Amino acid sequence: MIILDRVTITYPGATQPALSDVSLHIPEGEMSLVIGPTGSGKSTLLGAMNGLVPHFTGGTLSGSVVVAGRDTAMHPPRDLADVVGVVRQDPMASFVTDTVEEELAYTMESLGIPPATMRQRVEETLDLLALEHLRDRALLTLSAGERQRVAIGAVLTAHPRLLVLDEPTSALDPAAAEEVLAALQRLVHDLGLTVVLAEHRLERVLEFADSVILLPGGGRSIRMGSPADIMRDSPIAPAVIRLGRAQGWQPLPLSVRDARRQAGALRQCVIDRAQHQVPHETQAQTSPAVPADLTVDVVKMTVGYSETPVLRDIDLTVRRGEVVAIMGRNGAGKSTLLRSLAGIHRPQRGSITVSGLDPAQLRGPALTTSIGMVPQDPMDILTFDRVDKECAQADLDTPATAGRAAALLSLLAPEIEPHQHPRDLSEGQRLALALAVVMSGVPHVVLLDEPTRGLDYAMKARLADQLRDMAAAGHSVLLATHDVELTAEVADRVIVLAQGSIVADGPVAQVVLASPVFAPTVAKVLQSPQLRDLPGFLPMTPESLSQLVGSP
C-alpha cells in the first residue's frame, strides 16, 4: 500500500533534513502507529504520504513515496484525494459546511460522485461510525469526540484506501478517545482500510496497532516493527511499558489488560504493605481547608455565552503552592473556567478574585505577573516571526530577568532554534514556546489549557518538573487536562466538571481512583477490592511504585 524508498525531505532554510534516508513498507489493511520525539518528523512523514509534502509545504524530496501505486512526486494531493483521506488534529479547521450530513457529502461532491451513490455512502458512513442520530446536528454543537468521528466520516465517504491521522485523540477526553480508536479499529478489521496515525499518548493506541514506526530523531535511523519489538527498548514508552520493564514482565504488556494478568504478585505485595504500614482508619481524605494564603476565590459563579450558561454556581478556592487539575469530558466547561479566571469572560453572576483582584480589571504588568494563561492553541499568544523575538518580548513584558524565557524554552525543548518561525514548529514545540513565554513572568497563578497536547514523554517530564518547581516556590497552577498520567504525577487536587458544574473536588488519589475513566495506568493495573478503601496508599506512576516495592 505504502512504499518509501530512501526518502529524504529538507525544508527551505533548514540546516538538516526533516527526514533522512527513510525506507519502509506498510501493507494494506494494517494500522501503523508513528511515534517519536516532538519535532522528529512525524507530521512530515504523514504529509509525504498524501502529497502535501513537498507540493504544499515546499522543500525538496529525494527518493520515492508510492501510495496505492502512485508516486506522490508525480501526483499532487488533488490526484491522491480518491485514495488517501487526511484527518488533522483540529477537525473544525477542516470543516466547510454546517451540519453532519452536509459535511459527509462534501468530499464526494468535490470528486463529482453521482448523487445516488453519495446518498448511499452517507447512510453507510452514518451507520459505520454510529453517527445516525447526529445526522441533522450543527457541527458547532458537537462534542470533540463527535467532531473527530465526523471528520473521519467525511474522508471515508470518498472510499479511500489509506487513512492518515495526525494526533486524532490529543484533544479528546479518555472516553471520547476510546470511541475514535474503536471506530478506527472497525475500519481496519471490517473494511481492510490502511490506517497510519501519529500519536504521543501511546497508552491509548498502542494495543490497537499492528506495527510501530519509530522516528528517534537526532539523525538516528528509523525503525519499524511490531509493537512488542519496538517497545522492548524504545526510548519513548507509556506507563504500562515502563511498569512492565521495571517488573521484568515477559512478554512485555501492551495494555492494561495484559499487565493485570501479570500483576498478581505485585498487587499482593502492595496490599501487604498497605495493611502493615497504613492503618485503614487513616485513609479517608477530604479536601483541604480554605487556607489564609488564598490566590483564587470563586463564589457562586455562572458564566455563559448569550443566554446559554456554560458554568453554573461554581465555588472554587485555590491556595498558594497548589497544583489543581481540572478534568471532565469534552464540553464540560474546563476551558471556559480557565478563561474566566484569566478575565477573558466576565461572570453573569457571582464573583472571581485572583490574588485579591478582579482579573477582568487587570492590564499590562499587573496582569502578566498575577495571571499567566496558555490557551489550547499556542498561536493565539505568539505574534512574532522568530522564536528569539517571542522570548525577548516576553522578558520585556514582565519584570523577568533578561533571557529567562529563552532559558525556560531550552529546558522544555532544547532542539528549537532561535531563528525559527513559530509556525514552522511542530504542535508540541509551539506549545513549549508558549509555555516559556507565559511562565517567564512567574505569575502568581498559572492557567494551562491542555498543556501536554503534542508533547512527547520527555517534554512532558520536563514540564512536570517546571510545574513542581513553581508550586514549591508558592505559585498556584490550574491545568485543564485529559492527561490522567500528568494529573497523577503533579496534581495535589482534582476537580471534575460535568455539564458546567463541579461534581467532584478532592485529593488526586481520592478522586481519580474512584473513576474508571480518569484513573491512571498503574492504578488500573493494581486496583483491587483490598486497595479500593486505601486510595492514599496506592502508587499512581511506575516510578513511585518502584520506590515502594522495588524491582524483582
Number of H helices, E strands in the chain: 23, 19
**The cell 513515496 sits on which residue?**
65
- In sequence order, the 6+-apart residues with CB closer than 8 A to the CB of 129 are 149, 150, 152, 153, 156, 183
Cite the beta strand spans of 238-319 per DSSP E. Answer: 294-305, 308-319
Provide the residue-wise pLDDT of the chain in tens; the chain has 552 residues: 899 999 999 988 788 898 999 999 999 999 999 999 887 889 899 999 989 998 988 889 999 999 999 999 899 888 888 899 998 877 888 899 999 999 999 989 988 999 999 999 999 899 888 888 999 999 988 877 788 889 889 988 988 999 999 888 877 788 878 888 888 898 899 889 999 999 988 988 998 999 999 998 877 889 999 999 999 999 999 999 999 998 999 999 999 999 999 999 988 888 887 777 644 433 333 333 334 477 899 999 999 877 778 899 999 999 999 999 999 988 889 989 999 999 998 899 999 998 888 998 888 777 878 899 999 888 889 999 999 999 999 888 877 678 889 999 998 888 899 999 998 888 788 988 998 999 888 888 999 998 888 888 888 888 899 899 889 988 999 999 999 889 988 999 999 999 899 999 999 888 887 777 888 888 888 887 766 666 556 677 888 887 777 656
Q: How far apart are CA 32 and CA 27, in angstroms?
A: 9
Q: How far apart are CA 241 and CA 258, in angstroms?
A: 11
Q: Which of 50, 72, 52 is nearest to 63 (CA)?
A: 72
Q: Check if 2-235 and 294-518 are the same fold.
A: yes
Domain 2-235 sits in which CATH superfamily? P-loop containing nucleotide triphosphate hydrolases (3.40.50.300)
Domain residue ranges of the chain, discontinuous segments joined by +: 2-235, 294-518
Instruction: Please indicate, yes or no, whether the overall pTM of this predicted structure exceeds 0.85.
Output: no
Q: Which of 162, 180, 7, 18 is nearest to 91 (CA)?
A: 180
Q: What is the enclosing helix (H) or strand (E) of 497?
A: strand 493-498
Distances in Å between the Cα of 4 and the Cα atoms of 46, 132, 135, 442 are: 12, 38, 39, 46
Q: How far apart are CA 304 and CA 306, in angstroms?
A: 6
What per-residue confidence (pLDDT) applies to 224?
95
Q: How far apart are CA 483 and CA 459, in angstroms?
A: 14
Amino acid occupying residue 483: D
Q: How far apart are CA 65 and CA 248, in angstroms?
A: 40
Set of cell numbers at residue 360: 477582568
346 phi and psi, to 5 degrees? -90, 140
Domain 294-518 sits in which CATH superfamily? P-loop containing nucleotide triphosphate hydrolases (3.40.50.300)
309 phi and psi, to 5 degrees? -70, 135
299 HSE (CA, 13 A, CB side): 7
